[in-house]
Structure 1
Amino acid sequence: MSATKFRKAIASQLSRITSCPESQLLGLLGTPKTALNQQFNIPIPRLKSQRDSVQLSNELAHKFQPDSLIQEASAKGPFLHFSVRPTEYIRQTLLQVYNEQSNYGCHTADKSHIVVLDYSSPNIAKPFHAGHLRSTILGNFVKRIHQAMGYPVIGINYLGDWGKQYGLLAVGFEKYGDKALLEKDPIHHLYDVYVKINSDITEDVDRQANEYFRRMEEGDLTVLEQWKRFRDLSISSYKSIYKRLGIEFERYSGESETEPYIQPLYDLLQSKNLINKTADGAWTVDLSSYDLGSPVVRRADGTSLYLTRDLANLILRQSPKKSMYIVGTEQSLYMQQMFKIAELASLATNMHHVSFGRVQGMSTRKGTVVFLQDILDTAQEQMLKNLKENVTKYNELLTLGIQKGGQRLVGQEAANLVADQLGTSAVIVQDLFANRVKNYSFSYDRMTAARGYTGVYLQYTHARMCAIERKTNTQITTDCDFSLLKEKEAFELALAVSQFPDVVKSSYQSMEPCVVVQYLFKLAHTMGQANSTLRIKDVDPSLAEARMLLLWAARTTLANGLKLIGISPLERI
């Protein structure tokens, strides 16, 4: 990697001068900054020398010899700074992007280290709402960042399709269900049924729900046939929403699949002496010594709970090497309890909870519950309205169309697709912009704005670069004169591009998508500055080729970053 080559050059020479291991020095070197001078630095106090840090810094700067990659070493207090040779840095960066293209930013890892992700996970009896939106978008990022780091990933949509809440839904459907509405819109209709039956809940209704669930666990074919129909219709409806978000799961699973593993789980917990029985006959696991309470794993009536089924699911999955659960922060205690029981029972290790905060300030045209489909529809409608405001460009879009899946769409179909992709981009970026554990206030107006920190701005930046590539008769080639890229904007853009592999690694280590998102805004801003200065049209062909390669590399990097956060880059808007 380009930046890595420069870091190694610095670390190699410093290692000879200081006798510090090269690996230690590489770990201390700061990443390249978007600045004209002093791209790398190292904090001398962290060398843990007995010498005065300022004195040592000055001495090392004097001893360091410039070479073909590093132009100068200079001391500033206890820090040692390094400046690269701009032309060589630009050349190495652009060559790397050109050679790797869509793989630029990716790393390699142990291919046998399979990672299993649980995300989205809606409940059949409840709405696919804003909370699932966060789990879905964040989970898709977690999947993609693992893939970028070289790990094989299995993404599982673990549906809430079992338990007493489903029994309550079934009782409600007998009273309020409509087969035609179920076929037309299963998610909304089942939710309406669930709300109605909850509004007139009685002791008798509660008893019926428990009885229905007990029949499910006992394998009653009649109730299981209805359960399967509800489940299949719901999954079909979910898939249409996931398709709009560009999300695919390796498999759909659910609590129902764990049923054959419930008894083996109980046997295992008993063999590990983890079960305690309460006065009413319920089974608990005492985790008080870990400040995690005593969670119930079997009710007094013998039925299982969500925790039971999550633990049984680990037996089903045969203890994957790494498991990640993308679930809200409000479930932190539950996840800790589950992980601790899994550890004590030797069911699994290396389990991680990727938590996230709540979405605040949402509303819907259809009531108090916000369905994900309504969010996407509203965003699409707003973006279509925005597109129509620029009559010339809108007519151009209708005429020239857009590529999708190997075919070109034109007319209103093309406009609807662009509006939908802009809308989903806006939703994704607003969700991932801040630290994931923070709550954020949802705003349609801010989200769909063409300027500012929005997905729309990133898409417009990418599309603008694609337009330049289409309209200028300049080839993209590495057989160009890199020394012609003398402007500070060119160097700053190359520096920004070179940061991407480190950004990917940093985002993986923290599981923070905002690291990538905020980098993309910085990159897009730097691209805008470079584009306004580095003309390609009507300049010397040699200069045009060098500048074109630079802008193309930046656009490729932006596209790779957008894909990493789950956005399909648009080539025309």
Structure 2
Amino acid sequence: MSATQFRKAIASQLSRITSCPESQLLGLLGTPKTALKQQFGIPIPRLKSQRDPTEWSNELAHKFQPDNLIQEASAKGPFLHFSVRPTEYIKQTLLQVHNEQSKFGCHIADTPHTVVLDYSSPNIAKPFHAGHLRSTILGNFVKRIHQAMGYPVVGINYLGDWGKQYGLLAVGFAKYGDESLLEKDPIHHLYNIYVKINSELTEQVDREANEYFKRMEEGDPVALKQWKRFRDLSIDSYTSVYKRLGIEFERYSGESETEPYIQPLYNLLQSKNLIHTTDDGAWTVDLSAYDLGSPVVRRADGTSLYLTRDLANLILRQSPQKSMYIVGTEQSLYMQQMFKIAELASLATNMHHVNFGRVQGMSTRKGTVVFLQDILDTAQEQMLKNLKENPTKYNELLTLGVQQGDQHWVGKEAVDQVADQLGTSAVIVQDLIAKRVKNYSFSYDRMTAARGYTGVYLQYTHARMCAIERKANTPITPDCDFSLLEEKEAFELALTVSQFPDIVKSSYQSMEPCVVVHYLFRLAHVMGQANSTLRIKDADPKLAEARMLLFWAARTTLANGLKLIGINPLERI
């Protein structure tokens, strides 16, 4: 690995000079800077020596011997800096990308245990709201970043398909259900029924909903048959929308699957002396010693709650080695309560809450209730409008079409595909560009702009580089003369490319997709600067080959980063 190779060359020699462990020195060297000199540095005080840091830094700079990788060591106060040999750095970086291609940026896990992710998780009786959108996009990133770090991942869409809320839906469907509307659009129809029955909520309706849910828990075949039908129709509807986002789940699960494990859970909690009975007969777990209150795990009428089913789910999954729940920040107390009970009951310990802030100001042409399909349709329509503003490019897309994997589209279908991919790219980047705990204001106009920090800009950068590769008639080969890449723009671009594996690792450690997103904008900007200076057309063939490999490596890195955040890179726009 390019950057790692140079870091090791520095750490190995410094370790011999200072007697500090090489692993410690490697940890201090960090990500290479995109500077013409002093790409790596070490703060000498971090070595925790009794010696004066400035004096020691100067001494080490004099003792360090340049080699075929490192050009110079220099001291500035208590900091020790290192400059690499540019040609060798460019060569090693481009060779690494050429060798690894789509795997560039990936790592090998020391202990590759399976990671179970819960994300998206809509309720079949409620709209796929903005919180589910964030959970879906962020969860897809969490899945991909774990895979990039070498972990096998099981992504689960844990549907809200059980409980009293479903009983309420069933009561509503008996009064207002329409078979034709259910078949045509189950998500919207079930939601409309749910809203209507809620607006008429009386003691009688509430009692009927509770009774219906109790029949389900007792295994009533008629109630369960209808429940399964609603669930299957909902999953089919969700799957088609997820496909537009390029999202696949290893399995669809739900609260309903935990029913056989509810009693074993109660038995376990009782055996651990965790159950406390309230005056009205409900069961709670006292977590006051941890400032987490006393959550209810069984209602007074004997029915289960969401918390009960989440805990029973851990028995179903046989205590996974690592569990991650991609859920909004407003659920933080609930997640802490669940994790603590799971720990006290010895159900699981390695559990993590990947939290996120709210989406503000979201609405669509169809009203204030936001469904994921509406969001994607609106973004696609905006991008289609933008594409038509450039008739030449629009007609070229109609005629030549677009290739994605094994599929090739032409005509209007090609334009619709590109508009849809641009729209989803816009939605994803707007969601991931800021730290996940921050709230953000949703804006169709801002996110679909071709300029600025948008997914559209990243897609256009990738497509532009693909066009250069198509038109240049220059081979992409590692057997080129790297010494011809003398310009500072070439060195800066190679340095930026070489940062990607470190960016992936840093993003994984913080579980912050914005680390990758900001890197991609920086990479795209440096690519644009280099493209305006380092011409391939009409250049000497040997020089054109070297520059082509450089741009191809940058474009490959951009594509890998886009895929990491859940975006399918377009080759033609």
Cα distance in 1 for residues equivalent to 2:8 and 2:437: 35
Q: Distance in 2 between matches of 1:239 and 1:142?
A: 19
1:52 Cα shift?
A: 1.1
1:482 is matched with 482
Report the Cα distance in structure 2 between the residues aligned to 1:283 and 1:214, rounded to whole angstroms: 17
Deviation at 1:112, TM superposition (A): 4.9
1:537 aligns with 2:545: no
Give per-residue Cα distances to partners, 1:59-93, cap 9 Å, x unaligned.
11111111100001111111111100000000000
Matched AA of 1:251: R
* AA in 1 matched with 2:380: Q
Using the TM superposition, give the Cα deviation of residue 407 of structure 1 relative to its aligned residue in structure 2, in angstroms: 3.1
Task: Please give the secondary structure, in 2, of the residue aligned with 1:325.
Answer: strand
Q: Which stretch has the larger CA shift, 350-359 or 109-118?
A: 109-118
1:246 corresponding residue in structure 2? 246
Alignment map for 1:413-452 (pairs within 5 Å): 413-452=413-452
2:375 match: 375
Deviations 1:508-529 (A, max 9, x none): 0000000000000000000000
Offset of residue 368 of structure 1: 1.7
SS in 1 for 2:155: strand
Distance 1:168 1:369 in 2: 19
Match of 2:493 in 1: 493
Counterpart for residue 15 of structure 2: 15
The DSSP-based 3-state class of the residue aligned with 1:253 is strand
Q: CA contact under 8 A between 2:124 and 2:161: conserved in structure 1?
A: yes
How far apart in 2 are the matches of 1:403 and 1:95? 27
Asked if the contact 2:433/2:517 (under 8 Å) is kept, the reply is yes
Structure 1 residue 111 displacement after superposition: 6.6
CA shift for structure 1 position 30:
2.5
Q: Which residue of 1 aligns with 2:291?
A: 291
* Distance (Å, rounded) in 1 between the aligned partners of 2:459 and 2:129: 26
The answer to whether 1:89 aligns with 2:113 is no
Hey, what's the Cα distance between the residues in 2 that align with 1:244 and 1:393? 24
- Residue aligning to 1:235: 235
- SS of the equivalent of 1:427 reads helix
Q: Give the drift of 1:405.
A: 4.5
- Quick check: 1:66 aligned with 2:66? yes
Give the match for residue 566 of structure 1.
566
Q: Return closer, same or farther for 1:112/1:15 CA change in 2, 3 Å cut-off.
A: closer
Question: SS state of the match for residue 297, structure 1?
Answer: strand
Secondary structure at the counterpart of residue 166 of structure 1: helix
Match in the other structure for 1:556: 556
Render the CA deviation track for 1:9-41: whole Å, top value 9, x for unaligned. 000111111111111111111210111110000
CA distance in 2, matches of 1:529, 1:36: 15
Q: Which residue of 1 aligns with 2:402?
A: 402
For residue 320 of structure 2, give the secondary structure of its aligned residue in structure 1: coil
| In 2: Cα distance, 1:75 partner to 1:83 partner | 11
Q: What is the RMSD of the two structures over their aligned residues, measured on CA atoms?
A: 0.7
Alignment of 1:77-226 (within 5 A): 77-110=77-110, 112-226=112-226
Q: Which runs of 5+ in 2 are unaligned?
A: none
Percent of residue pairs bearing the same amino acid type: 88
Deviation, structure 1 residue 363? 1.2
The letter of the residue matching 1:381 is E
Which residue is equivalent to 1:546? Answer: 546
Aligned to 2:354: 354
Q: Secondary structure at the match of 1:81?
A: strand
Paired with 1:504 and 1:301, the residues of 2 have a C-alpha distance of 50
Distance in 2, matches of 1:408 and 1:447, equals 27
Name the CA distance, whole Å, in 2 between partners of 1:50 and 1:110.
34
Letter in 1 for 2:319: S
Secondary structure of 1:158's partner? strand
Show CA shifts across 1:110-149 (max 9, x none): 5750000000000000001211110000000000000000
Aligned-partner residue type, residue 342 of structure 1: A
User: How much has 1:176 moved relative to structure 2?
Assistant: 1.4
- Distance in 1, Cα, partners of 2:178 & 2:196: 13
In the other structure, the counterpart of 1:521 is 521
* 1:281 CA displacement: 0.2
Whether the aligned pair in 1 keeps the contact of 2:129 and 2:369 (CA below 8 Å) is: yes
- Decide which moves more: 53-62 or 264-273: 53-62
Deviates more, 1:252-261 or 1:363-372: 363-372
1:66 alignment partner, SS class: coil
Residue equivalent to 2:343: 343
Q: Is the 8 A contact 2:94 2:550 kept in 1?
A: yes
Contact 1:116 1:153 in 2 (8 A): yes
- Distance of 1:219 and 1:147 partners within structure 2: 39
Query: In the alignment, which residue of structure 1 is the partner of 2:26?
Result: 26
User: What SS does the aligned partner of 1:302 have?
Assistant: coil
Name the SS for the 2:450 alignment partner.
coil
Q: TM-score, normalised by structure 1?
A: 0.99
Write the mapping of 1:28-67 to structure 2, written as runs, cut at 5 A.
28-67=28-67
Distance in 1 between residues matched to 2:455 and 2:112, nearest whole Å: 35
Matched residue, 1:388 = 388
Provide Cα deviations, 1:165-209, integer angstroms capped at 9, x if missing partner. Answer: 000011111111111111111111111000001111000000000
User: What is the deviation of 1:408?
Assistant: 1.7
> Which residue identity is paired with 1:259?
E
Q: Tell me, in whole angstroms, the C-alpha distance in 1 between the residues paired with 2:248 and 2:406.
A: 19
Moved more, 103-112 or 450-459: 103-112
Code of the residue aligned with 2:296 in structure 1: it is V
Partner residue, 2:503 = 503
Question: Once the two structures are superposed, what CA deviation does each residue of 1:406-463 show, in whole Å capped at 9, x if it has no partner?
Answer: 2321000000000000000000000000000000011101100000000000000000
| Partner Cα separation in structure 2 for residue 146 and residue 112 of structure 1 | 10
> Residue 164 of structure 2 contacts residue 210 of structure 2 at CA under 8 Å; is this kept in 1?
yes
Contact 1:110 1:151 in 2 (8 A): no
Local SS of the residue matching 1:233 = helix
- Whether the 8 Å contact between 1:462 and 1:570 is mirrored in structure 2 is yes
For 2:257, the equivalent position in structure 1 comes to 257
Tell me if the contact between 1:117 and 1:155 (Cα under 8 Å) persists in the aligned partners: yes
SS, match of residue 75 in structure 1: strand
Give the aligned length: 573
Which structure 1 segments of 5+ residues have no match?
Answer: none
Structure 1 residue ranges (4+ consecutive) displaced by more than 4 angstroms after TM superposition: none
Letter in 2 for 1:428: I
Query: Which residue in the other structure is 1:308 paired with?
Result: 308
Q: Is contact 1:121–1:157 with CA below 8 Å preserved after alignment? A: yes
* Structure 1 residue matching 2:349: 3-state secondary structure: coil
CA distance in 2 between counterparts of 1:357 and 1:566 reads 19
Whether the aligned pair in 2 keeps the contact of 1:261 and 1:313 (CA below 8 Å) is yes
Instruction: Give yes or no for contact 2:116–2:155 (8 Å, CA) kept in 1.
Output: yes
Contact (CA 8 Å) 1:69, 1:84: kept in 2 or not?
A: yes
Separation of aligned partners in 1, 2:310 and 2:386: 45
Q: Do 1:70 and 1:85's aligned partners in 2 also have CA atoms closer than 8 Å?
A: yes
Output the TM-score relative to the length of structure 2.
Answer: 0.99
Letter in 2 for 1:503: I
* Residues 111 and 152, structure 1, Cα contact 8 Å, conserved in 2: no
Contact 2:112/2:150 (8 A) holds in 1: no
Helix, strand or coil for the counterpart of 1:420? helix
Partner Cα distance (2:7, 2:398) in 1: 49
Instruction: Give the counterpart letter for 1:238 in structure 2.
Output: Y
CA distance in structure 1 between the aligned counterparts of 2:513 and 2:152, rounded to whole angstroms: 19
1:93 and 1:497 in contact (8 A); partners too = yes
